[in-house]
Chain A
Amino acid sequence: MKRIIFYTNQFFGQIGGEDKASIPPRIEDGAVGTANLFKDKVEGEIVATIICGDNYYAENIEECREFISREVERLRPDLVIAGPAFNAGRFGIACGDVCSFVNDKYGIDTITGMYIENPAVEIYKSNTYIVETGNSAASMRKAVPRMAALANKILRKEEIGLPEEEGYIPKGIRVNVFHEKTGAERALDMLVKKLKGEEYRTEIPIPVYDKVEAARPIKDLKKAKIALLTSGGLVPYGNPDHLPAATAKFYKKYPIKDIDRFAEGSYESVHAGYDPVYANENPNRILPLDLFKELEKKGEIGSLYEFYFVTTGNSTSVADATRMGMEIAEELKEAGVDGAIMTST
């Protein structure tokens, strides 16, 4: 028999209302409160129910996670079910956190249920299955069978279908599938519908990108510390840190304090997205170190930061690029850098 731990709050765990929202986590054997509604529907045994006050969870997340860790390690469940939280904000956070934490730490499957506008949905949807429910407990009767059906599919280790088929809120994870038709056939199908004014569905929704506000201009360049950055894959010859030719997930920094220029044969481009022949002939074409050293000598800029930063900007995902950008910016700020030149290729 598969083992299930159930998580709920003070209200659905039948301890009390808002006045009990500060109770610390506790665990009881078997199904308590809402868990009873699932008991006969899930293909497993609800071995215990964890109940915690919503305020307590929100204010003591680390402590609550430790409690949950201990119980998960002791009871070794196959699945954790939390909620459903409907549109309750704090309960939603607790359910989302329990599910994503357990899944992340132990690789154990988790499932919860929420109303689509619950703020916790955006935070946790990619880390657990959140079944879409109504906005209040009045929709409990509808929510339970949907959650139980998905829970059973997970317990049976069946492949989980698309969100609209299974009733969960899209995790926002792009998964490869083989369609029945080729891309060209699907494109023509889509165009014919679009031309007729019929409904069609794009396969890639256009993303909305973060708008980064430009920093204010540097007041006095002659006093400014300038850093050089490139996504052009320029590395010391031999590529000692194995920077990939494409889809890089890390960046490196190399010293430029003691050199006046990137010499041919001492540096090379490992970027696979452009013709590297000319870059290798004169690596300063990728990142103009020679010019900046001259500016530094002439006093046109205050100083040049002693390292340059490099990654390969080629088929890198937006998420990886954003993370690397934040890490580099943090490091530059700490080093007191006032401005940066980033060359792309």
Chain B
Amino acid sequence: MKAALASLRDLVRYPSALVGLSVVLFLVVVAIYAMATIPYSEAIRLWRGGEDIWYQNPKFAGPSWMNYFSSEKKPVSFIASTTDGTMTKVITPGNEDSSKIEITHTFNYEYDTFPQEMILYLNGSYEAKLPFVSIVLLTPAGEEIRIGDMAVDHELTFRFSQDQKLQKRLKTDKVLEALLINPDISDSAPAKGEYQLKITGVTFEKNSDIDAEFVMHGSLFGWAGTDQYRRDLMLPLLWGTPVALAFGLIAALGTSLLTMIISAVGTWYAGWVDELIQRITEINLVLPFLAILIMVGTFYSRSIWVILGVTVLLSIFSGQIKTYRAIFLQSKESAYIEAARAYGASSGRIIFSYLIPRMIPLLIPSLVSSVPSFVFLEASLAVLGLGDPVLPTWGKIIENAFAEGALYRGLYYWVLEPAVLLMLTGLGFAMLGFALDRVFNPRLRDV
């Protein structure tokens, strides 16, 4: 315990250890936050759902913070709805059973480009007589543009840019440009200021009602942006963290522990056991690691846990076994082992209680430093299209982005966000492992 504390104090002296440690802690916090706020089933639903879940988001939208770095402000998507009170709804009862419903939404449009789409989802509740609405848009100049009049059935989707009547009335098929344009500026730019969407509805039955949801698809969305299926990238970025950490840590721990145990057993028993382990190591050197993982991924299962198992299995008999073997060969001859043998300790006791514990200081740095390579391995497999089919991971984002040609189309955020997280993870563990190596290997300390 004292020794561990002393090592910790040594460790804190290295700035790289502090940086690495804080990065790792940050990732752990993000992982816990992701798992606590979005339960697994919810995460899968949001990731694998379908248009019903993602319809509110625009396609290929960048993150909204991009506006801070650009002089040209792009529209940020938003949603307003009467059910959660973001749209005001006033109901005035009229004569007989009819009533008048006024739904308004005021929004500020302070951007330099036009939105992708504006959509109105109307939902009427009625028994026999359909409610009727008329929609108008008030521009900052005070102009009132008639959008449309229609009867509302149970579910009505009104897409501004697709409506043919509106296209005819505005004499153009670029409806959004026509609606938002500022006529005072010669090159086409939207008029900035306060817009008001006004829906005036009439219902003809006692319990009849209208609910509305107004969605504007801008070119930016949320903190992380969206992909080709309108999915919010925040989800895979958040959920990718626990997946990456779990994969990296389990693989690193499993590989280094098993490698150490196997080489200890081989050295202790010597003879044919040692010979066999040596031969297996040599054969393993010739087996193409990634190619075999790819075969397993293509033929059997892409589940991240199967891949994890195969990864550990193939990494156990690595060159590391030879390094450990050389050290075990030395400590096997040392006096304390001889003493243990003299009092009749069993082989198992000597291996697990005397030989291996002394190697732990050597194990820890290599364990921590090997985490990034496994995290990147998972990402690499995902980039090859062999990622877990269910789980949202960082590698899957990169794969999607590449499949959609994100770099060619200038959608840099799509690749950069997961790449930065991967880099952060890699650097964090590598820096920590690096400092640990210097603390536990005094020979390196001076150079």
Bound pair (A, B) = no
Residues of A within 8 A of B (CB): none
